[in-house]
Amino acid sequence: MKIRIAFFDARPYDQASFNRLITPDIEIKYFPGHLNEDTAGLAAGSHVVCAFVNDLLSAPVIETLIQNGVKLAALRCAGYNNVDLNAAYGKLHVIRVPAYSPYAVAEHAVSLMMALNRKTHKAYARVRDGNFAINGLLGFDMNGKTAGIIGTGKIGKVLVRILAGFGMKILAFDHHPDPAWGEKYSVQFTDRDTIYRESDIISLNCPLNKETHHMINEKTIVKMKHGVMLINTGRGGLIDSQALIDGLKNYKIGAAGLDVYEEENEFFFEDHSGDILNDDVLARLLTFPNVIITSHQGFFTAEAMNSIAETTIEGIKDFFDGKSLVNEICYRCDSAVCVHKEQGRCF
């Protein structure tokens, strides 16, 4: 049987990564647009939809996919907050790529920290204009400062290793702490309030769910050190954007590095350089000289792209070969009732 894949939000770099893995039993049809209620019908005749972070697998979309014969949704990303897992359960299997390159995202987080600290983006613009003055570019030594890491999964652990190399004190929060690992890097596992209160730099490396939605808000920002640096390479919804703006305006937040934004699906991965930006919150964030926003590019390395393609294709083949789906997600598993180990699949 030839496996037919409807591939949404397809970019040239996606096609380059996946085309090298196409075999005679796989056929991929690439669609540049996002998967949503208007485009779900394009998957008719396909066995699989391959989706990315800004594609929407809502209940109506899932119903349309099922009616059109789709059996599997393959997310080529780690996060799955864009999927209605309850609607999919028992009807549509969903797999993801839980780890493609934790180094890519962790290193990007550090690049945001360094650029904000040493004002590299401002220095570059000055020198290009012939201005070699360094007034206003004062930074601080990372050594000896305190970093608060919220989420110590694979990305968080790589980030800890890097920051420990700078000589930073590391505070960390995770629902499932790993004390043995933390001991190697002198990590102090603690609660989030302690991280807010004591950290010079806070990095968000946790998933977006009901508990973490807007975890950075007006109340939690008040608890932070004056002039704290905030880094988010997780999901945009972790931060209440208006609260962030208020924190920047009153100087409570000294700098912010954002690779994600809660309304990014309207803008990220697209060229809007000739358009008027109609998102007032995003437009306001872009006016701050101490804010750097990148377009969800933390994952974007050659190694990560190859890993994403390989893991996705392997998961698709495993599904049709009747094998266990090690990267499956579902409503039951999101409710902490995992049945993978016993049954190999969620249903």
Q: Are 89 and 64 in contact (CB under 8 A)?
A: no
Burial call 27-50: b when 16+ CB within 10 Å, e when fewer: ebebbeebbbeebbebbeebbbbb
Residues of the chain by 3-state class (helix, strand, coil), percent to 5? 35, 15, 45
What angle, 0 to 180 degrees and rounded to 10, lies between the N-to-C axes of helices 120-128 and 102-118?
60
Cα radius of gyration rounded to whole Å, the chain:
21
Residue among 47, 93, 192, 296 flagged as catalytic: 296
Catalytic annotation present for 264: yes
Provide φ and ψ at 172, rounded to 5°: -145, 150
Residue among 93, 96, 262, 264 flagged as catalytic: 264
User: Which DSSP letter does residue 191 get?
Assistant: -
User: Which DSSP letter does residue 2 get?
Assistant: P
Provide φ and ψ at 286, rounded to 5°: -70, -10
* Structure token pair of residue 321: 């070969």
HSE toward the beta carbon, residue 164, CA cutoff 13 A: 18
Residue among 235, 266, 303, 332 flagged as catalytic: 235
Nearby residues of 19 by Cβ (< 8 Å), 6 or more positions away: 28
3-state secondary structure at position 234 = coil
Please spell the DSSP secondary structure of 15-65, one letter per residue.
HHHHHTT--TTEEEEE-SSPPSTTTGGGGTT-SEEEE-TT--B-HHHHHHH
Catalytic annotation present for 345: no
Catalytic annotation present for 226: no
Q: What is the separation of C-alpha 49 from the centre of its chain, rounded to a whole number of angstroms? A: 20
| Per-residue three-class SS string for 292-310 | EECCCCCCCCHHHHHHHHH
Which residues are part of the catalytic machinery?
235, 264, 296
